[in-house]
Structure 1
Amino acid sequence: MKVAVLDINGKDTGRKAELSKDVFAIEPNNHAVYLDVKQYLANQRQGTHKAKERAEITGSTRKIKKQKGTGTARAGSIKSGLFKGGGRMFGPRPRNYGFKLNKNVKRLARKSALSIKANDKSIVVLEDFNFDAPKTKNFVDVLKALEIDNKKSLFVLGDSNNNVYLSSRNLKGSEVITSSELSTYKIMNANKVVVLEGALEGIESNLSK
Structure 2
Amino acid sequence: MEVAVLDIKGKETGRKAKLSDSVFAIEPNDHAVYLDVKQYLANQRQGTHKAKERAEIAGSTRKIKKQKGTGTARAGSIKSPIFKGGGRVFGPRPRNYGFKLNKNLKRLARKSALSIKAKGESIYVIEDFSFDAPKTKSMIDVLKALGIQDKKSLIVLGDSNKNVYLSSRNLKGLEVVNSSELSTYGILNAKNIVLLEGSLEGIESNLSK
Normalising by structure 2, what TM-score?
0.98
> Cα distance, 1:95 vs. partner?
0.2
Q: Distance in 2 between matches of 1:13 and 1:104?
A: 36
Q: Alpha-carbon deviation of 1:60?
A: 1.1
Deviations 1:59-96 (A, max 9, x none): 11112122333222222210011111111111110000
Taking only aligned residues, the RMSD between alpha carbons, in angstroms, comes to: 0.7
Deviating more after overlay: 173-182 vs 71-80: 71-80
The answer to whether 1:75 aligns with 2:72 is no
Deviations 1:38-67 (A, max 9, x none): 000100111011111111111111121223
Paired-residue identity, %: 83
The 1-side partners of 2:51 and 2:152 are apart by: 38
Q: Residue in 1 aligned with 2:194?
A: 194
CA deviation map 1:136-193 (0-9, x unaligned): 0000000000000000000000000001000000001101100000000000000000
2:204 corresponds in structure 1 to 204
Residue 14 (structure 1) aligned with residue 14 (structure 2):
yes
Which structure 2 residues correspond to residues 127-142 of structure 1 after superposition, within 5 A? 127-142=127-142
Aligned: 1:32 with 2:60: no
Q: Distance in 2 between matches of 1:16 and 1:85?
A: 69
User: Following the alignment from structure 2 to structure 1, what is the Cα–Cα distance between the partners of residues 81 and 148?
Assistant: 54
What's the TM-score once normalised by structure 1's chain length?
A: 0.98
What's the counterpart of residue 110 of structure 2? 110
Alignment of 1:145-156 (within 5 A): 145-156=145-156
Amino acid at match of 1:84: K
Gapped regions of structure 2 (runs ≥ 5): none
Taking the aligned partners of 1:6 and 1:69, their CA distance within structure 2 comes to 87
